[in-house]
Structure 1
Amino acid sequence: MSHSYLVPTKTHTDDGERRVGFELEFASVTIPEVADTIAAVFDSQTEYVTDTDYKIAVDHLGEFTVELDWRYAQIKAKQRAEQSADVKTELDSANEKIQQWITELSANVVPAEVVCPPIKISQLAELDKMIDALRQLGASGTHESAIYAFGVHINPELPDLSATTILAYLQAYCIAQDWLIKKHQVDLTRRVMPYIEKYSKSYIEHVLNYAEDVSYQVLVDDYLKFNPSRNRALDLLPLFKHIDAEPINSKLPKEKINARPTFHYRLPNCQINEPDWQLSRCWNIWSVIEYIAHNPEVRQQLAKEYQQQSVLDLALGKNSWFAQLDQIHQDLLSA
């Protein structure tokens, strides 16, 4: 079944149609099975890199990558391989054992990760058949186990890289951050993990008080001051590194950050095993941010309402602007 992907107000950059990348994590299937399934869906071939890394080149979309969540898998696999290795085992043999353990771990504990290429907004529905095929294969999503903290990452290209545009999106997200968590029904297991930490109240207040002509340098400096980590639900470090790598590398020399002209949005669950679930559900919630970012009067009104909320109301979850965000979402879906 094809699902509708909302078209944002700004659909193009100076270089053409905006693109969006998706990354999704799931379990219960092996890396080779996932790679073969994607290749079959798009009538393509798999390219073996290692036991835990495959590529699939799709002519009209780009290159898909299927791999494991290495941050978790490598540590666990190395521990098991070292325990089983003989003192005289050669290095190559030990490395083979590591790969074997990683592959075995992936089926039930470590998520397989599909990294989609940046895809034109007008082509996003092409991903639906891939999701359907992976669901039929037996992929397990976030809610299948209490230990699964699997997510969907959305990497939307910005219409342009001006400070004004970055600020508009940042303010829109800050206003809607708590609503997004509620709307995505972010799994508790994921919420307690360090990877999708919220922006702090103090940083949000800082962002909402910026002048419209705030400089790019101020945006970067303040972001690094309040968020010196990749572990944010909306990670701006790849974007800032794409624009100017020096301050990012200087402040965070040990962080692995792939520069790209996109946001890195991590809040959605991966509910791939659920019938009729598609990436459009995640994208269409993000589209509320697109709408607010490109409607200054709406953004200013929502920011004012956010700032006028009392500490008690916030603590009790009385977020009056949630109803307005729900209405924006519904209006976009029904337009």
Structure 2
Amino acid sequence: MTCQDADAYRFPPLPIETNAQGAARRVGVEVEFSGLSERRAASILQETFGGELDDSNPHQLFVRGGALGDLEVELDTVLGKTGMGAESQSRLKDLLRGLVPVEIVTEPLLPDQVALFDTVMPVLREAGASGSRDGVFLGFGVHLNAEVVAPADPHTMRTIRAFALLDPVLRAEKGIDVTRRVLPFVTSWPRALVDLLIEEKPDRLAALIDLIDPYVRSRNHALDLLPLLKHARPKLFEASYPDEQSTTARPAFHFRLPDSRINEPGWSLREPWEMWRTVEEVAASDRLERLEEEWTERKRAHGVLRRDSAWVRVASDILSRDDA
């Protein structure tokens, strides 16, 4: 599919399409894979979207000024934060090629631009890109950075609560690769934290930081809130996470889908897009209250929800009744 073909389909908009300033909300995308070098991936992006190739760093390339603005292609993002010298980093990255993913990172995009970016997925697949299911220990994923309406907007806190209740449902219904579940990249929030979120319903990010502090000590969760917290409450963030140096502040949810299926025919970014859109749709409707009531009632009756599978059946039934 070419750039011109992108008009043939659209990604459905998020339920709240604009931010508090009235501008269209944007979503950044990160896609990880192996099987291609950084240069080959960057060349494909340039051929598809245009722009100029900046290859001054062989492990961190940019395609600048194309149809989607600037696109970054890099091998891993952690090694550059270790204090290791550039030459040593380069040698280590060469040794780790195939285990460390190549990652494409976009600027924040409009929904139609995300659809346009999706047109390069089959091109990368045909060129040899491999996803997480090609190896047991391949920790590759797809991340969406969805701009919040505003840090203080009620939809922000409702979305966090909706995700807490829907995370096991999304994992089950979308068949998240079981091998990814054993890797420490995208763990679920502890059940005790979900209980607190539903019981206390914090209405401000400052209160949320106090609530999650004992339970969330890293970014390795399916919904990474640390970039948003650092953006909205920098002083409180620094007090709670003084050693967290890898977090970049931004006014966005960081949804870390624990599966990159780029090598599978028919796979599309539409899948993670719809997963996140489901979370926001629940947050924007009374279905959130129904899910919370059901969670609270079952916890009151049984003391604890012992199995994710039991909650998945209950929550899926609530969602399917509305969809019928």
Q: Same fold (TM over 0.5)?
A: yes
1:166 to partner: Cα distance: 2.1
1:123 to partner: Cα distance: 2.4
- Match of residue 243, structure 1, among 229, 232, 237: 232
Q: TM-score, normalised by structure 2?
A: 0.88
Residue 99 of structure 1 pairs with residue 99 of structure 2 = no
- Match of residue 287, structure 2, among 289, 298, 302: 298
Partner of 2:310: 318
Q: Which has the larger radius of gyration?
A: 1
Partner of 1:64: 71
SS at match of 2:206: helix
1:190–1:74 Cα change, 3 Å = farther
Residue 8 of structure 1 pairs with residue 39 of structure 2 = no
Q: TM-score, normalised by structure 1?
A: 0.85
Equivalent residues of 1:220, 1:240 under 8 A apart? yes
Partner of 1:144: 134
> Which is further off, 302-311 or 20-29?
302-311
1:292–1:316 Cα change, 3 Å = closer
Give the 5 Å matches for 1:183-262.
Answer: 183-211=173-201, 214-255=203-244, 256-262=246-252
Q: Over residues 212-233 of structure 1, what are the superposed CA-to-partner deviations in whole Å (9 max), with x where a residue is unaligned?
A: 7x33321122122321221111
- Match of residue 31, structure 1, among 25, 34, 38: 38
Larger helix proportion of the pair? 1
SS at match of 1:23: strand
1:235 to partner: Cα distance: 0.9
1:98 to partner: Cα distance: 4.4
Equivalent residues of 1:73, 1:105 under 8 A apart? no
1:101 to partner: Cα distance: 4.3
Partner of 1:111: 101
Q: RMSD in angstroms over aligned alpha carbons?
A: 2.4
Ranges in structure 2 where 5+ consecutive residues have no aligned partner: none
Give the 5 Å matches for 1:46-61.
Answer: 46-61=53-68
CA distance in structure 2 between the aligned counterparts of 1:291 and 1:223, rounded to whole angstroms? 24
